[in-house]
Structure formats: C-alpha cells, structure tokens
Amino acid sequence: MKKYVTRRILQLLVTYFAFLTLLFVVFRIAPGDPTSMYLLEGMGPEQRQATLERLGVDRPLHEQYVNYLLQLLSLDLGESFRYGTAVENVIWVRFWNTVLLMGPAFLIAYVLGIGIGAFMGWVRGSAKERFGVIMTLVARSSPEFWIGLLLLMTFSFYLGWFPSGGMRETGYEAATFWDRYLSLNFLHHMFLPLLTGVIFYMATPALLMRSSMIQVLNSDFIEIKKAEGHPEYIILYKYAARNSILPITTVVAIVVGVALGGSLVIETVFSWPGMGREMVDSVMHNDYAMAQSVFFLMGSVVIFMNFVADIVYVFLDPRVRYE
C-alpha cells in the first residue's frame, strides 16, 4: 500500500509538471507577438520596455520558463490588463464562487446518480429500469447550456419563480461570509444553476453504477449472500452497492474535470460571477494572464482530484491495498 501511494504521488508530480509545461507552451504559441499580451494600449515605448523588463518576457525562453514555474508555484498569477490589477485580487473570489456552485452540484449529482444507478441495476429488466435508463440518457444528451436555457425559460421568465442570473440581488451587501453564501437570497439564485449541473452530471455515475451493479449482481458471492438468508435491502446496500461503487470512484475525477469545464457554460447562462465565466470573458478580451490563471487553477483541481480518487480507491478495495 505504501508502495502504491508513493507511486501515485510520483505520478502526480510528473503529471502536474507536464501540465504546467503544457500551459506555458500553449499560452506562448498564441498568435501575434507573444509579448503583446502584457502590453496595454497607449503605452509609450519606454513604458513598454519597462513593462517587458518587469515581467521578464524579454529574457530567453528557458529563463522565462523557470520564472514562470516559480511564479505559478508561489501563486503569483501575474497582472490582468482587463482589470488593471493583479489577477489574484480578482480570481480568488471567482474561484470560491465557482467551487460553491459546482462543488454541491457535483456532490448531489454523484450521490443521486449512484442511488438511481443502483436502483436501476437492482430492478433490471423492469419497466422502472427502462424508464430510468431513458430519462438518464435524455439528461446525458442535453448539453449544460440547453438544460440551463430550458430551466431559465420555464422557471425564471415564464413562471417567475427564480431570478434569471447573478449570485444575489443587486444592492444586497453581504457583510459576513455566512451572509454571503448561506443567505436565502444566495440559495435562491443558486437553485437553477445548481439544478442544471445536477441533471447533466448525474447521468454518467447513474449509468455506470447501473452496469456495475448488474455485473456485481451476477457474481457468485451475491448468490451466496442470498443463500445466507440476508434480506434483499441488506444485499443491495451492504454488498452489491458497496462493490459496484468501486469502478465509479475512478471516474469521479473525470467528472470533476467535466464539471469544472461545464462551469464555463452554466455560469455564462446564469451570469454567475465565477471562474468559468471569467475564463470565457478573458479569452474573448485577450486577457491572457487571467485566462492562464483560471486554466491553471482548474487543471490543478482536476489533477488533485484524480489523485484523491486513486487514494480513496485503495481504501475501498482491499485487493489493491494488499498488492
């Protein structure tokens, strides 16, 4: 087990390093003068030179690369020209706004998805299962923005039950953290975007859990557990579901990646002031430092979640633990 964890940590480091390198390369092959992204319009030639020197973009590429790594790792994210201030002054609020929306969306989607999937596997061959599969496939076939638009049109514009966007009422000043994120007003604004995420992200774990469940239910040991005289619900939860979850954990991180990406779309539809919308806007406005920072944060989260999922797997499956 120690060996397994050590190997995972090494792999994590390699992956992360490669990710950072890729980020550097991608943002430096951008069209046009690679330094132009750091320059603002209306700067004089001396000013330009000064900026370039300050940012170190006039140095050789390898030096820049080392600097870039050092900066990123010390969370020095550079300067956003759109906001005219350090990226970190803007991005952390955005980051938490996104985490507070997509985190719960993802968690609820996973728990519900696993539950629904387990149920579909359990009642396989019945009309209930057929209905469940069709609904799940329909949800999976609807891109986030489409679900979002439908919810927006129905519940906000037509029925008027929910606000059409933003995180809280304009003019609502949040004094404390609790006010900010746990007020009814916040939850009211959060409902539709959250629901959008839940509907779309639920499909993958549900379908996976269903097939996993069907396979586990076909295995010999379930037959033995029935023969042992355990009631059905015990067999379902204590034995079948517990084993079926194993393959689902490995895709947790993948779905986190998809969900973080989905924040771009959901936040755009619901004008949610998070990282995703910031990414779209900053790419649109050539704000490289901001786009790169968002990308860096999202990638870091996904890679870290991949790692966590691998470690959790070890605890769930003794076959790996004792390898």
Partner 1 sequence: MTTEHTTETDAPPTERDDHMLEVDDLRTFYHTEAGDLHAVDGVSLTLDRQETLGLVGESGCGKTTMAKSIMRLLPRNGEVVSGSIRLNGVEVTELSEKQLREEIRWTEISMIPQTAMNGFDPVKTVGRQIVDVIRRHETETPKAEAWERAKELFENLGLEGSRVHDYPHQFSGGMAQRAMIAMALALSPSIILADEPTTALDVMIQDRILRQIKDLQREFDTAMIMITHDMSVVSENCDYIAVMYGGRVVEFADAETVIKNPRHPYTLGMRNAFPDISEDDQDLVSIPGSPPEVIDPEEGCRFAPRCPFAEEECWEVTPEPEQFPDGDQHVVECHRADEAEYLRAEAEKKETWLSVQEGSREQRLEELEVNDD
Partner 2 sequence: MSTDIRDRLDATVEGNRRLAKLSKDAGYVWGIIRGDTLATIGVVIILGFLFLALFGPMLAPHDPGDNLRGEDGQLLRTDSPTETFSEGAYLGTTNYGEDVLSQVIVSVRVSVFVGLLAALIAVFIGANVALISAYYGGRVDDVLMRIVDIAYGLPFLPFVIVLVFIFGSNIWNIVFVIAAVLWRDSARVVRSEVLTQKQRPYVKSARAIGASDLRIMYKHIFPNVLPLVGLYAAFAVAYAIIYEASLAFLGFGDPELYSWGQMLFQAYHSGAIRFAWWWVLPPGICLMLLVMAVFFIGRSLEEITNPELRH
Q: Which residues bind partner 1 (CB under 8 A)?
A: 125, 219-221, 223-231, 239, 242-243, 246, 316-319, 322
Task: Tell me the sheet residues that pair with 80.
Answer: 85
Q: Which is nearer to partner 2, 29 or 184 (CB)?
A: 29
Q: Which is nearer to partner 2, 110 or 295 (CB)?
A: 295
Are the CB atoms for 103 and 225 separated by under 8 Å?
Answer: no
Report the nearest approach of partner 1 to the CB of residue 243 (Å): 6
- Tracing tokens 């009211």 back to the chain, one arrives at 188
Binding mask 281-310 for partner 2 (x = CB under 8 A): --xx------x--xx--xx--xx--x----
Alpha carbon 48 to its chain centroid, in Å, reads 37
- What whole-number distance in Å separates Cα of residue 280 and Cα of residue 261? 11
Are the CB atoms for 311 and 320 separated by under 8 Å?
Answer: no
Are the CB atoms for 121 and 236 separated by under 8 Å?
Answer: no
The one among 9, 26, 50, 234 contacting partner 2 by CB under 8 A: 26
Are the CB atoms for 213 and 122 separated by under 8 Å?
Answer: yes
- What whole-number distance in Å separates Cα of residue 309 and Cα of residue 106? 14
Report the nearest approach of partner 1 to the CB of residue 7 (Å): 20
Q: Which is nearer to partner 2, 7 or 54 (CB)?
A: 7
- What whole-number distance in Å separates Cα of residue 188 and Cα of residue 204? 27
Residue of 16, 122, 112 whose CA lies nearest to 69: 16
DSSP single-letter state for residue 80: E
Binding mask 30-59 for partner 2 (x = CB under 8 A): xx----------------------------
- What whole-number distance in Å separates Cα of residue 166 and Cα of residue 101? 12
Q: Which does 322 bind (CB under 5 to 8 A by kind): partner 2, partner 1, none?
A: partner 1
Which residues make Cβ contacts (< 8 Å) with residue 241, sequence separation at least 6?
A: 114, 118, 213
Candidate segments 71-79, 97-105, 144-152, 176-184, binder of partner 2 by CB under 8 A: 144-152
Report the nearest approach of partner 2 to the CB of residue 286 (Å): 9
Residue of 66, 78, 59 whose CA lies nearest to 21: 66
Q: Which is nearer to partner 1, 141 or 218 (CB)?
A: 218
Report the nearest approach of partner 2 to the CB of residue 201 (Å): 13
Q: Which does 230 bind (CB under 5 to 8 A by kind): partner 2, partner 1, none?
A: partner 1
Residues that bind partner 2 (CB under 8 A): 11, 14-16, 18-19, 22, 26-27, 29-31, 124-125, 133-134, 137-138, 140-146, 149-150, 152-153, 157, 211, 214-215, 218, 253-254, 257-258, 260-262, 264-265, 268-269, 276, 279-280, 283-284, 291, 294-295, 298-299, 302-303, 306
